[in-house]
Structure 1
Amino acid sequence: MFISEDVKYVGVNDTTIDLFEGQYKVPDGISYNSYVILDEKTAVMDTVDINFSAIWLEKVKTELGDRKLDYLVVQHMEPDHSASIAEFLKFYPDTTVVGNAKTFTMIKGFFPDLTITNTLTVKEGDTLTLGSHVLTFVFAPMVHWPEVMVTYDAKDKILFSADGFGRFGTPDSEQAWDDEARRYYIGIVGKYGAQVQALLKKAAALDIEKICALHGPVLSENLAHYLDLYNKWSSYVPEKDGVMIAYASIYGNTKKAAELLYDKLKAKNVDVIITDLARCDVSKAISDAFAYGKLVLATPTYNADVFPFMRTFIEGLTERNYQKRTVAFIENGAWAPMAAKVMAGMFEKSKELNILDKTVKITCALNDASAAQVDELADELA
């Protein structure tokens, strides 16, 4: 992967992993990206997951040749990027490790027995001159850990963006960047929209031609598209003026109501998708809910609550500050429907949600009266 004449890619692909961070399905794997800058002085941007340290160190050695390695810049201390620090220092013990105060606190936490000979503690806006390449350190706390910083290379106009602009899948994966980057962003960073907005404001003052994230491909074309999406995601503005229907069903009756609504919206040329929460990848469902401006939740009452898959889904939304959208409910209850009341309560602390007054109420199974309510809901959503 070509970055520039002086900046070399030394990342590795993990195609054996099944769950990223122990919870996100990654059928196309994940990359742990790292970069070497070759100038009068040399620098490595971040390490990799410990399972790939040997492969990564061989790549670093190949790019350096016989040259001394001057700096290791640690932008993010999550173990998928920092776990190889100790192994790295066995081969390059004189290298100066560059980080901020919180970085070094975390290094001590992860590596209590590690002694680092040379360190450089940087503050917001500090620079490091390698020769023609001048690195500027821009702090990005809670994007998505408190020690995170990104680095701007003024010569090649590269933003080394840490986990920002990352994407599931390896750099050469064929899946659409938008969908897998949104799933990555919402799942991992989605709670911290205000902090991402602060970073975007800092980035707006930089002349950026390439974005080198710690996961996924290098971004070098149509950067305005990626920046616009990050602005929308972090300000919680929907991408699509459409409807997502998310349902949970025990014996199929709630499913029939959800599918009837789907068919009616399709007939009205509404952009609509439907998801079975019991069988989907929940991280994909949460990502889709953030993409669309309207959400319909359909569930039976279960133990005077909602069906467990629906509860998990709503908790996933509210944990990530779901807001600025329209929400409607379809509830089913054979004798004491409670689902709509429970769902509304789960959104009580959410900001700027328009929860529609009319709830579709099903008693056991669809009938003429509840089907008419579905008609009314379709008209309102359309």
Structure 2
Amino acid sequence: MKKQVKNNVSWVGYIDWELDSFHGDDYSIINGSSQNAYLIEEEKTVLIDTVWAPHRFEFVENLKREIDLKKIDCIIANHGEVDHSGALPALLEEIPGTPIYCTANAVKSLEGQYGKRNWNFREVKTGDTLDIGNGKQLVFVEMRMLHWPDSMATYMTGDNILFSNDAFGQHFAVGEMFNDKANKCLLMKEAMKYYANILNPFSPLVAKKINEIVGLDLPIEIIAPSHGAIWRENPLQIVEKYAQWADAYQEDQITVCYDTMWEGTARLAHEIADEIAKQSPETVVRVFNVAKTDKNEVMTEVFKSKAIIVGSPTVGNDILSSVAGWLAFLKSLKFKNKKAGAFGCYGWSGESVGILKEKLSEAGFVVVDDEVKSLWNPEEGDFAKVPALVASVLS
């Protein structure tokens, strides 16, 4: 069903209420999501993006109910990833030869995914424009590595809408469509989760691109991303948030992350959490068993934290595989300006704490020297080391 965004601009996407994972199973979806596509009906009719392949036939049929497909003058492919381009093959079977405006990298992406089908590509770069009639233009802005090399945004003059693709979005199903109609707490939670788990590795580029967009001096009344709510009430609030998040973001929070075999490491984790509360009552403390807690939710809390303290027992001269996998994901997110400490129990050789420190350092954390390393189950002497570890992380 077509829903009006503003004047002759409509949403024609797909709300995915049942979606529970994304990027394979690498990103958890808790509050649904949407694949936002947009239809502009000025003197020229323009479709901006499509939807994910599983919904391609429904998308095309719904679009047919709204418009004669042959009236579509061109398609804008802001990004080649399949959640945005998945319906293109089915759509272009209906309207072959329709021009597709996209970056040079998007041509490579689309042909790489769908094969060379002789689609009518029109390559664009930052500053290129397309006249759509009634005194309005589309202005293209490359958004390389936000979060693919082919990404771009499209700005519509006159109505002052920025179609921002993956930037400023959220995996959040909002039937009411707009940010002022959405649950604001969930909206910002999902926006931060999206940034922390997908865009944070590209933070230096985010900051640079925000400055570039601001430098274009374009009035922005609506930001229409490819997932989640459309920002129409104070749309620049999400741009301001991105500027904060891109600047090695942290709050007064410490997150304790661990897994345990026979509860000894768990006891240390809880003792560390209690000690943080004693030494710094204003600091928010979060504790997670990484084997039992959604990793994307945990990483959002790590993103907010000024420090983390990570624990694992020693097993097979190494750390638990659950913690090892979690640390690999942590490294990929490239957090900056955060401290870290390590702890764990052992029965024989006791390598886990040293391995944790090494892995945390490789992930870009400033690792403190103090540690808690307990032979078998922690006893009074082991708990006595906790205050020094906490003090080092807090300092």
Q: TM-score, normalised by structure 1?
A: 0.92
Supply the distance in 2 between the matched residues of 1:309 and 1:232 (Cα, whole angstroms): 31
* Residue 263 of structure 1, aligned match among 271, 274, 278: 274
- CA shift for structure 1 position 283: 1.7
Partner amino acid, structure 1, of 2:186 = A
- Could you tell me which residue of structure 2 aligns to residue 212 of structure 1? 224
- Could you tell me which residue of structure 1 aligns to residue 14 of structure 2? 12
- Could you tell me which residue of structure 2 aligns to residue 243 of structure 1? 254
Aligned residues: 379
Supply the distance in 1 between the matched residues of 2:65 and 2:6 (Cα, whole angstroms): 16
Supply the distance in 2 between the matched residues of 1:330 and 1:147 (Cα, whole angstroms): 42
- Could you tell me which residue of structure 1 aligns to residue 178 of structure 2? none
Q: Could you say what the CA RMSD is over the residues aligned between the two structures, in angstroms?
A: 2.1
- CA shift for structure 1 position 279: 0.3
Supply the distance in 1 between the matched residues of 2:253 and 2:125 (Cα, whole angstroms): 44
Q: Within the alignment, does 1:334 sit opposite 2:336 as a pair?
A: no
Decide whether the 8 Å contact of 2:308 with 2:341 is kept in 1.
yes
Decide whether the 8 Å contact of 1:330 with 1:340 is kept in 2.
yes
Supply the distance in 2 between the matched residues of 1:276 and 1:291 (Cα, whole angstroms): 18
* Residue 205 of structure 2, aligned match among 173, 195, 210: 195
Partner amino acid, structure 2, of 1:231 = A
Q: Which stretch shows the higher mean deviation, 311-320 or 21-30? A: 21-30
Supply the distance in 1 between the matched residues of 2:243 and 2:262 (Cα, whole angstroms): 41
Gaps of at least 5 residues in structure 1 are none
C-alpha offsets along residues 72-121 of structure 1, whole Å, 9 cap, x if unaligned?
000100111112112111222353211122222222222325233x4422
Supply the distance in 1 between the matched residues of 2:65 and 2:353 (Cα, whole angstroms): 61
- Could you tell me which residue of structure 2 aligns to residue 377 of structure 1? 389
- Could you tell me which residue of structure 2 aligns to residue 176 of structure 1? 186
C-alpha offsets along residues 146-182 of structure 1, whole Å, 9 cap, x if unaligned?
1111111121221111111121121247561232222
Q: Which stretch shows the higher mean deviation, 295-304 or 170-179? A: 170-179
* Residue 92 of structure 1, aligned match among 85, 91, 95: 95
Q: Secondary structure at the match of 1:297?
A: strand
* Residue 52 of structure 1, aligned match among 41, 51, 55: 55
Tell me the percent identity.
25
Supply the distance in 1 between the matched residues of 2:191 and 2:6 (Cα, whole angstroms): 24
- CA shift for structure 1 position 137: 0.5
Decide whether the 8 Å contact of 2:153 with 2:163 is kept in 1.
yes
- Could you tell me which residue of structure 1 aligns to residue 132 of structure 2? 130
Decide whether the 8 Å contact of 1:286 with 1:313 is kept in 2.
no
* Aligned pairs (5 A) from 1:102-113: 102-112=105-115
Q: Within the alignment, does 1:83 sit opposite 2:96 as a pair?
A: no
C-alpha offsets along residues 197-225 of structure 1, whole Å, 9 cap, x if unaligned?
22212222332222111111101224343
Decide whether the 8 Å contact of 2:360 with 2:367 is kept in 1.
no
- Could you tell me which residue of structure 2 aligns to residue 313 of structure 1? 326
- Could you tell me which residue of structure 2 aligns to residue 185 of structure 1? 195
- Could you tell me which residue of structure 2 aligns to residue 355 of structure 1? 367
Decide whether the 8 Å contact of 2:69 with 2:94 is kept in 1.
no
Q: Secondary structure at the match of 2:31?
A: coil
Q: Which stretch shows the higher mean deviation, 49-58 or 32-41? A: 49-58
Q: Which stretch shows the higher mean deviation, 220-229 or 21-30? A: 220-229
- CA shift for structure 1 position 249: 0.7
Q: Secondary structure at the match of 1:176?
A: helix
Distance 1:155 1:63, change over 3 A: farther
- Could you tell me which residue of structure 2 aligns to residue 139 of structure 1? 142
Decide whether the 8 Å contact of 1:71 with 1:97 is kept in 2.
yes
Supply the distance in 2 between the matched residues of 1:103 and 1:326 (Cα, whole angstroms): 38
- CA shift for structure 1 position 372: 1.7
Distance 1:145 1:95, change over 3 A: same
Supply the distance in 1 between the matched residues of 2:376 and 2:344 (Cα, whole angstroms): 10
Partner amino acid, structure 2, of 1:81 = H
Decide whether the 8 Å contact of 1:36 with 1:63 is kept in 2.
no
Decide whether the 8 Å contact of 1:143 with 1:189 is kept in 2.
yes
Q: Secondary structure at the match of 2:10?
A: strand
Decide whether the 8 Å contact of 1:36 with 1:60 is kept in 2.
no
Decide whether the 8 Å contact of 1:8 with 1:63 is kept in 2.
no
Decide whether the 8 Å contact of 1:361 with 1:370 is kept in 2.
yes
Gaps of at least 5 residues in structure 2 are 176-181
Supply the distance in 1 between the matched residues of 2:169 and 2:117 (Cα, whole angstroms): 29
Distance 1:58 1:350, change over 3 A: same
Supply the distance in 2 between the matched residues of 1:254 and 1:337 (Cα, whole angstroms): 13
C-alpha offsets along residues 321-343 of structure 1, whole Å, 9 cap, x if unaligned?
12210111112222332222112
- CA shift for structure 1 position 47: 0.9
Q: Secondary structure at the match of 1:258?
A: helix
Q: Secondary structure at the match of 1:272?
A: strand
- Could you tell me which residue of structure 2 aligns to residue 149 of structure 1? 152
Decide whether the 8 Å contact of 2:314 with 2:346 is kept in 1.
yes
C-alpha offsets along residues 284-328 of structure 1, whole Å, 9 cap, x if unaligned?
212211111111112111222211111111111111112210111
